[in-house]
Amino acid sequence: MKSNSLNNSFQKKIAKGFKLVFSFEFIFMLFLFAGRFKGDSRFEWVPVDITLLFLLWSIVIAAYILIKRKFVFERKSLILLALYLAFSFYALITLLWSPSQVYAYEKTLHMFTLVLWALAGPALIIIREKVRLKRFFISVLLMSLWLFIESLIFVFAGNAGFINVLGGNYLGVGRTLSLGIIILTSVIFYTGIKFRVKVLLVILLAAYIYIMLSTGGRGPLLSLFPLVLIFYFASYIKTKKNLKITKKAIFSIVSMFTLFITILVLLSTDKVPQSLKRMMLLFGSDDLGASANTRVYFYKESFLLWTKNPLLGNGIGSWPVLIGSGDSRGYAHNIILEIISELGVIGLILFLTLIFYSSRKYFFHISRNFYNMTILILFLSMLVNAMVSGDISDNRFLFTTIALMLYKSPDIADTSINATNK
């Protein structure tokens, strides 16, 4: 009887695994992160572009889901899509005066395909059901775990310098690891998992952070600062009359103190992790490093470009042409400066309206549950990333988090990530 029970349990886990791997959320995640692994030599046998493959695959699954729902949409999802399309169509209009004849059309195409689907997928499918949001978080965590293992192998193989694995660069590795760190931290603080599981996750999280410090990327490291909000909101409960400090406050203080001491110890060694070493250049040094100095130059030039046509902007894709880099892919490494220099104040207002509409409930009340807190921190993290690296297309996970913020869960704390599926 016991053997049969174990077999049934194993079979159920296998079935859940298959359901996850072939779910919309997992395929959509592979579309979002295709750029992180499609350059790896192990995928050279794939006859088509991997990003395009998972884009079309996820659209087909989404179409099937929408047919089953009889094309019933939530009003807030349609409004969000309308706001994004207004932003994109304005970018399309600016082609009329953009000096770019090549990159502008490529960038506009990406806005109407890759970025649009990065926002539409979760807005139409994922936010409707908690079980789908749960699957999406698990999928993202699995992707980060894959890159974590590859990075761990890279480090233990004795490789020095920046961690470039799966055919991608260290910044992509760092961004993906940062997502795993956020989800793991949120699970530890906001779910009712068993103590022994929590201990194992804390150990895994510590290993993640060490590898994160070793990748070489400063932007992904800076994007982890919103994690402070997880510690903050987990440390107290607000009542009508006073504030009640929770047991998690002690854990939060101990965690931050331990991290601080660990960083001091690492800085005192001969082998300071690459990201930490480069981060120290930002403090107490006239030389910020070539990467940071270049960004400062880009920011100054982007502001000057904006002053040439402040209201309408210089046109989509104009930045690399006007800065003297030619009519090829180039960007300000800051999404606000990118938008304002190319699309002007009108473009910036449309973009900020998009963000405000999806995040407006967070301005008045933050639901202290696993799902809403994780979404909020992921959004803030991606926003920080977008302020220091990538263009609109590179930051499409930011648009995914903008859509996820439409998800509404009860104010009652949802303390179980293993909630029963409906």
290 within domain boundaries? yes
Residue 39 has phi, psi (to 5 degrees) of -85, -5
**Does residue 415 lie within any of the structural domains?**
no
Categorize the per-residue pLDDT at 180 as very low, low, confident or very high, splitting at 50, 70 and 90.
very high
Q: For residue 281, is pLDDT > 80?
A: no
Tell me if 143 is assigned to some domain.
yes
pLDDT at residue 212 in the model: 86
Domain assignment present for residue 418? The answer is: no
More confident residue, 361 or 68: 68
User: Which of 179, 186, 183, 177 lies closest to 207 in space, CA to CA?
Assistant: 177
Report DSSP letters for 357-403, one per residue. Answer: HHHHHHHH----SHHHHHHHHHHHHHHHHHTTS--TTTTHHHHHHHH
Give me the mean pLDDT over the 269-285 stretch: 65
- Which pLDDT score is estimated for 388? 86
In a domain, 389, yes or no: yes
What residues make up the domain containing 282?
2-404
User: How many domains, in total, are found in the chain?
Assistant: 1
**Residue 351 confidence (pLDDT) above 60:** yes
Tens of pLDDT, residue by residue over 27-73, are: 999 999 998 888 888 888 888 889 999 999 999 999 999 999 988 89
Q: Enumerate the H helices of 22-113 as residue ranges.
A: 24-32, 34-37, 50-68, 75-93, 103-112
Q: Which 8-state DSSP code applies to residue 421?
A: P
Helix, strand, or coil here: 273? coil
Is residue 200 assigned to a domain?
yes
Looking at the domain assignment, is residue 409 inside a domain?
A: no
Give domain status of residue 422, yes or no: no
Question: What is the per-residue pLDDT across 71-84, written as a single tens digit (0 to 9) for each?
Answer: 889 999 999 999 99
Nearest to 180 by CA among 214, 149, 216, 219: 149
pLDDT of residue 416: 38
Predicted confidence at residue 228, as pLDDT, reads 83
Location of structure tokens 């400063």: 218
Q: Within 10 A of 235 (CB to CB), how many other CB atoms are there?
A: 18
pLDDT at site 330 = 86
* Confidence (pLDDT) at 122: 96
